[in-house]
Amino acid sequence: MKMTNVKKISYIKVAASSIADCWRAHPPMFIGMVFGAAVLCAVQVGEIFAMRRFFDAVAAYIEGHLYINEVILSAVPLAVLLIAFPVVNAFAWIGQGYFWRRGSGLLDGTVSRAHPAYSAH
């Protein structure tokens, strides 16, 4: 059986509509979430570079090209980033929870106004 009246979904339109809904839910929180996600990504990328620098320093120490102090100094940025990640992640998680509750309320209100029969209340 061939379906003739099936509308194609435009994923770009769905994404744009979702972003617009998130913006309407709470603009400052939305900006904060985007900024938080960017910081979280930057911390993770920083971890990769710091880890590489640390392992390179350990290898150079084993080969006799570096002193232990230099290895310890290369571990400091890695330690800071490894501590920063769960802290930033916790703030992002708390913000997302708040935003989710606020956005769910906005969408529930939108659906209730558009389709009163589907109201959860």
Q: Tell me the per-residue pLDDT of 88-116, one tens digit each, with 9 for 90 and over.
A: 999 888 888 888 877 677 666 665 665 55
Whether pTM > 0.85 for this model: the answer is no
pLDDT of residue 79: 97
pLDDT at 121 over 60: no
Distance CA 6, CA 24 (A): 30
Per-residue confidence band for 16, with pLDDT thresholds at 50, 70 and 90: confident
Asked if 84 and 42 touch (Cβ cutoff 8 Å), the reply is: no
Distance CA 71, CA 62 (A): 10
pLDDT at 73 over 60: yes
